[in-house]
Structures are given as C-alpha cells and as structure tokens.
C-alpha cells in the first residue's frame, strides 16, 4: 500500500485558530490596555520609594517606635544635671519649737470684764527677737521661747496693767519654711542641697521616690512634712545629631529629649542637611556593652520627605545617635585639596624664590651695562 501524500502546510487546531485570529486578539489587547491604564491612573497604594522587601518583616513587639506608632517613655529617673522644683505643702516644726526671728505668730488676747479691746491678729517676730503688740500693750521679747513660754511671758507683761488677760499663742508660719521652696540643681554626686536641712540623694529615683526621700530628710526637723516635687528642667536625657564633615571634621549637636521627637524633628533642629551631607542617614541606638552587636536603624530620607512615608521616621529615645553620612564627592574633593595644598604652597614658594633670583641677576646685568656706557 502506498502512504498518503503529506501536505506541506501545518495543521492548526480549531482552538488555536480561535485564539490567534486577528478578530479575537483585539478584545485581549483592549483588556490589557485597560488594566494598565487603571494601574497607572489615580492613587497608587504601593510604596514607590522602595523596592519590594526593603524593610524586613519583624515581629510587632520588636518593631522600633516611629511616627504614628509612638510609645511612652519609661518612668523618668532623675539624674545630674536635672532641675527639681520643690514646694512646701505642710511644714510644722517638731515640738517643742522655739520661736525665731521672722516667724509669724497668731495671738488672741481677751480681758475679763472687757476693760480693754480684745486682740486677734498676726504678729511678726522682729529681727531683734521682740514682739510688738501695739502702742497700747508694748513690746516684749519672745525669740527662743516655746508657744507656752511665750503665752506666759505675754500674760506677765499684760498683768502690769492690773488686768487678768486670757492669751492664746500659735505658730502660723515658721520662717524656715520659705527657704525650702525653690528650684534645686541635682549635683554631680546625685544630691540636692536643702541648705540648713542637709543634702538628699535623688539620682536614679522617680519623682515619687524623690519626694519620699525629701520628706524623710525634713522629718528630722518638722512634724509630718508634706512637699511636692516636679521637674523644672529635663537636662539629663538627650540625643545626639552627628554630621560627618567630609574630611573637614565631624559636627556633634547635643539636644534635650522631651519624648515626642522623630528623626525629621531632630534634623529640623539643625536646619536640615548641609552641603557636606549626603542623604545616607541612620539611627544608632545604644546597647549594653555585652550586647554583641550594633543596633542600626536605616533612614530613608527621600521617603520621609517626598513621600510622607513614616516607616523609617523613627521615634527617638534617650541616648540615640542620628548619623548623617558625608557626600563622597565633596569628601574626595576636600581630601585632594588637603593633599595638594601643601605641594602647591611648596611649589609656589620655590617658584617665588627662583623668580626673585632671576630678577636680581637681570637687574645686576642691566646695572653693570649702564655703568660701562
């Protein structure tokens, strides 16, 4: 049997004809063009400042705080050179208290039969230690006396007028209480000086602990003292902005931290990036000495500023270092200038010396020629 002759044309299936047909290709092209237009138009939800996967996925508890996802700082611990504000709420001297100058006393005096006007007023112990009861009752000394002794002294003083008075003496305000109110600097040794009431160690303590320590110190002189303590100046918690100087020396700025600063806030404090700086920035977060590795948080400057992306606009913590790398072209130019400048100066001095010698020789020949003529 003879085999049937094979056709030289390729056999195309009906399905292929359906797909590859020019009439059928037009709808597919229209669909593709429509999808591309939809992707390119309107709001783009993807981050076009970064390549996919540029930020590693980490568990949420380990993510550093950043803009829009900030955290509260730990309880503030007092350290030098913080400023503390102390105000007295209750300060009653321990009995028996002996009156001192500038103490304020409340005195009430009544008389049997009402022969004289009663007295009920506040009196100041004068610098001489005396108490002036007015023109009608005279002056007597009360400094160094207790309240009971002062009552007896006033009673004996008024009996000279042949009357029997009833006297009440109370301490309204001790002069020493006003000397405690004020602002105190935490010294290098971690203490504050309460003047005549001694020093109190407050370094490493919270405000509550510091208040209890101050009240314990004052309890040696007063009965159940009560004071309020607040921060007047947060001076011990800071962060640093380090600008690499492109071979001209690095610049370090020390800034106090309030708990709400981000990388963008910090760079705004120094007026932005300088002409020596590049856009390579990172946050170096301090770690314990035995931590074993560096904690580096890269900052995408273009994304933060142009795109408003908050992923790398980290919240700053006490002790953070913001490092702004130098511009390599500027650094190379400054390095070459530093290397070439001494050579240029040396060649300039050499050229000046040679020129001076030549001018001197020429001047000498011209002078000798003029003499020979």
Choose among 127, 119, 116: nearest CA to 169.
119
| 193 and 261 share one domain | no
| 164 and 200 share one domain | no
Can you give the CATH number for the domain in which 149 is found? 3.30.1950.10
Question: β-pairing, 321-326 with 238-243?
Answer: parallel
Tokens of 256: 């106090």
The answer to the question of residue 104 being in a domain is yes
Expressed as residue numbers, the domain containing 211 is: 83-91+177-233
Q: How far apart are the first and last CA of the chain?
A: 133
| 312 and 211 share one domain | no
Q: How many CA atoms lie within 13 A of 207 on its CB side?
A: 16
CA–CA separation, 354 vs 55, rounded Å?
64
| 169 and 181 share one domain | no
CA–CA separation, 113 vs 117, rounded Å?
10
| 317 and 259 share one domain | yes
Across the chain, which has 373 residues, the per-10-residue mean pLDDT values are 43 42 52 54 43 49 84 91 91 84 90 75 92 87 92 89 84 78 94 92 96 94 90 92 91 91 94 92 88 87 93 94 93 88 84 81 62 56
Confidence at residue 28, expressed as pLDDT on a 0 to 100 scale: 54
Which phi and psi angles does 278 have, rounded to 5°? Answer: -100, -175
The answer to the question of residue 61 being in a domain is no
User: Is the preceding omega at residue 96 within 30 degrees of 0, hence cis?
Assistant: yes
Number of domains in the chain: 3
The answer to the question of residue 207 being in a domain is yes
Confidence at residue 203, expressed as pLDDT on a 0 to 100 scale: 96
Alpha helices in the chain (DSSP H): 14-20, 22-40, 147-158, 207-218, 263-269, 301-305, 328-372
| 87 and 209 share one domain | yes
8-state DSSP, 95: S
- Pair 24, 274: CB distance under 8 Å: no
| Burial bucket for residue 220 (CB in 10 Å: 0-12, 13-18, 19+) | exposed
């Amino acid at each position: 049997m003879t085999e049937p002759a094979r056709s030289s044309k390729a056999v195309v299936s009906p399905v292929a004809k359906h797909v590859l047909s020019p009439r059928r290709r037009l709808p597919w092209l229209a669909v593709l063009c429509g999808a591309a237009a939809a992707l390119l138009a309107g709001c783009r939800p993807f981050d076009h400042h970064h390549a996919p996967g540029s930020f590693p996925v980490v568990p949420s508890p380990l993510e550093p705080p950043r803009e829009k996802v900030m955290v509260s700082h730990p309880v503030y611990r007092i350290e030098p050179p913080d400023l503390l504000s102390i105000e007295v709420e209750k300060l009653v001297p321990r009995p028996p208290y002996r009156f001192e100058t500038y103490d304020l006393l409340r005195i009430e005096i009544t008389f049997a039969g009402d022969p004289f006007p009663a007295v009920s007023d506040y009196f100041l112990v004068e610098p001489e230690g005396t108490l002036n009861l007015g023109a009608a009752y005279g002056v007597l000394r009360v400094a160094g006396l207790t309240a009971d002794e002062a009552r007896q002294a006033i009673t004996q003083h008024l009996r000279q007028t042949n009357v029997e008075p009833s006297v009440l003496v109370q301490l309204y305000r001790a002069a020493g209480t006003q000397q405690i109110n004020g602002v105190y600097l935490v010294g290098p040794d971690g203490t504050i000086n309460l003047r005549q009431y001694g020093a109190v160690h407050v370094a490493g303590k919270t405000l509550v602990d510091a208040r209890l320590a101050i009240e314990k110190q004052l309890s040696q002189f007063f009965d159940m003292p009560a004071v309020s303590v607040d921060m007047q100046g947060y001076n011990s918690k800071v962060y640093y902005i380090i600008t690499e100087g492109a071979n001209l020396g690095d610049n370090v700025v020390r800034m106090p931290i309030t708990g709400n600063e981000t990388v963008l806030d910090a760079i705004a404090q120094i007026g932005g990036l300088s002409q020596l700086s590049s856009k390579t920035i990172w946050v170096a977060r301090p770690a314990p000495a035995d931590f074993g590795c560096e904690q580096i948080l890269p900052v995408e400057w273009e994304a933060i500023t142009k795109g408003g992306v908050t992923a790398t606009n980290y919240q700053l913590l006490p002790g953070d270092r913001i490092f702004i790398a130098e511009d390599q072209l500027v650094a190379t130019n400054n390095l070459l200038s530093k290397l070439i400048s001494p050579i240029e100066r040396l060649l300039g001095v050499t050229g000046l010396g040679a020129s001076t010698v030549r001018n001197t020789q020429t001047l000498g020949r011209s002078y000798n020629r003029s003499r020979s003529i």
